[in-house]
Amino acid sequence: MHIRISLIAKSIALTLGTSMVAAAIALAAAPTTADMKDFNSTVDKDKNMHLEATAEINAPQDKMFDAISHPELTSKSDPQVQKAVVVSQDSNSKVVEFFGGQQLPIPNAPKSLKIKVMPDQASNTIKVESYQSPILKFQNEYKLSPTKDGKGTIVKYSSVSNDISKQIGMDIPADMRKQIGLETFMNQMYTVGVYIDDSAVASAKHK
């Protein structure tokens, strides 16, 4: 998986329960690649960050939909996630809980992060939002469409997240919050790519 995006404020991002990746990560054995195409961000009057980004991945849309819909599986390649479990599930959504270390001390910081995942196959959309989090609140959406040749996937990502400056006791500038959001999105595309590639290898071995 190859990612073309620079790394800023890794330690802050870890506080959010996310992990960052260094610029130009390359895995020679992993043919899946993700390229950032464009992005935009704004901050509203309540200091919520609105982020939009588009990435193109050379993996089929059905595989991308399946991977993004299963963060409990794709997170296995994230070194900051020690364990991920599905704590509840119904026909339309599931709640996934992630456990992992945090590198910055936060008063009463939770030991895990829960998200609610809501895939919609009919619209090729996956919505993900924070769940019962006292610190970080966000709503993300992934809208998938095929590339012109039909072999890859265009992922249109939108996110709204709160400002956690008060909770962590330090100001996080808007530019840093934007970079954290972009890094988090592209890191997810990295873990999705690793999952797709590993699944292909496992499938080949069983043929």
pLDDT band at 18 (very low <50, low <70, confident <90, very high): very low
- pLDDT of 49 > 70? The answer is yes
Q: What are the tens digits of pLDDT across the range 146-168?
A: 999 999 999 999 999 999 888 77
Q: What are the tens digits of pLDDT across the range 52-99?
A: 999 999 999 999 999 999 999 999 988 888 999 999 999 999 999 999
Q: What is the percent of the chain where pLDDT is above 70?
A: 80
Q: Which of 12-26, 131-145, 193-207 has the lowest mean pLDDT?
A: 12-26
3-state secondary structure the chain: CCECCCCCCHHHHHHCCCCCCCCCECCCCCCCCEEEEEEEEEECCCCCEEEEEEEEECCCHHHHHHHHCCHHHHHHHCCCCCEEEEEEECCCCEEEEEECCCCCCCCCCCCEEEEEEEEEHHHCEEEEEECCCCCCCEEEEEEEEECCCCCCEEEEEEEEECCCHHHHCCCCCHHHHHHHHHHHHHHHHHHHHHHHHHHHHHHHHCC
- pLDDT of 169 > 60? The answer is yes
pLDDT band at 106 (very low <50, low <70, confident <90, very high): low
Where is pLDDT greater, at 174 or 101? 174
